[in-house]
Amino acid sequence: KQEVTQIPAALSVPEGENLVLNCSFTDSAIYNLQWFRQDPGKGLTSLLLIQSSQREQTSGRLNASLDKSSGRSTLYIAASQPGDSATYLCAVSLSGSARQLTFGSGTQLTVLP
């Protein structure tokens, strides 16, 4: 059974810092990996999708990497801002038409002004 772990559970940084969020998964036979952002009481916003054949994806100040063989992904946030404060979730999907996602428990990020 696939298990996804995110470290740290919570992180507090001053504005302007670069930071890295970690995600690990136990079964490397994934189809893809997604990073999401969740604001309190809200749904999930998709940030980045990395296919299993890819090594990284970038969107603005966000860069996600994937090392499938070691079961690890990182989300790098450059020049953090208070508006980046949220919970960040990673999820992996299986092959097959259903594409079910297995989620980590998330990292709660607070960027202090």
Partner 1 sequence: SQTIHQWPATLVQPVGSPLSLECTVEGTSNPNLYWYRQAAGRGLQLLFYSVGIGQISSEVPQNLSASRPQDRQFILSSKKLLLSDSGFYLCAWLLTDTQYFGPGTRLTVL
Give the binding site for partner 1 (CB under 8 A): 31-32, 34, 36, 41-46, 49, 51, 89, 91, 93, 97-106
Q: In terms of CB distance, is 34 or 65 closer to partner 1?
A: 34
Partner residues linked to 38 by β-bridges: 44, 87
Q: In terms of CB distance, is 71 or 104 closer to partner 1?
A: 104
Rounded to the nearest whole angstrom, what is the least distance from the CB of residue 36 to partner 1 in the complex? Answer: 8
Q: In terms of CB distance, is 31 or 76 closer to partner 1?
A: 31
